[in-house]
Structure 1
C-alpha cells in the first residue's frame, strides 16, 4: 500500500497522547507484523472519522467535535 503525504497541525496534548499510545501499543503487540506508529494511529483515526461522516455536522471545530460526542 502506498501513502500520500499530508501535513497537519496538532495540539501539544494530541502529539504527546499519540506518542504515548503508539509506544504502549507497540510494546503490547509482540514480535512481527506492521509497526504501530503515530502515523498508523492517525490513519485509523481518519478512517473512523470517515466511517462516522453521516453524524458529522457543524461550521467550526467545536461544533464538529460536538456532533461526534467528543469533549
Structure 2
C-alpha cells in the first residue's frame, strides 16, 4: 500500500470515533487505562461496524475489526 492509497479523512474519522469509544468508556479519560475497549463506529457507507481497541505488546493501542480480533 502506498501513502497515496490512504484516505486521510476516513482515517481521521476512524481515529476520532475510536477515541470517543475510549473517552466514553473511561469517564472522560478519568478512569485508569484498560487494556481492551470495544464499541461501534459508523463507516463512510453509513453501516455500523464493531471494533476492538487492544493494548499490544509494544504498549500501544491497536484498532481491529471483529474478524481480526
TM-score normalised to structure 2 length = 0.31
> Would you tell me which structure has more helix in proportion to its own residues?
1
Q: Which has the larger radius of gyration?
A: 1
Q: Which has the higher contact order (CA 8 A, sep 6+)?
A: 2
TM-score, length of structure 1 as denominator length: 0.30
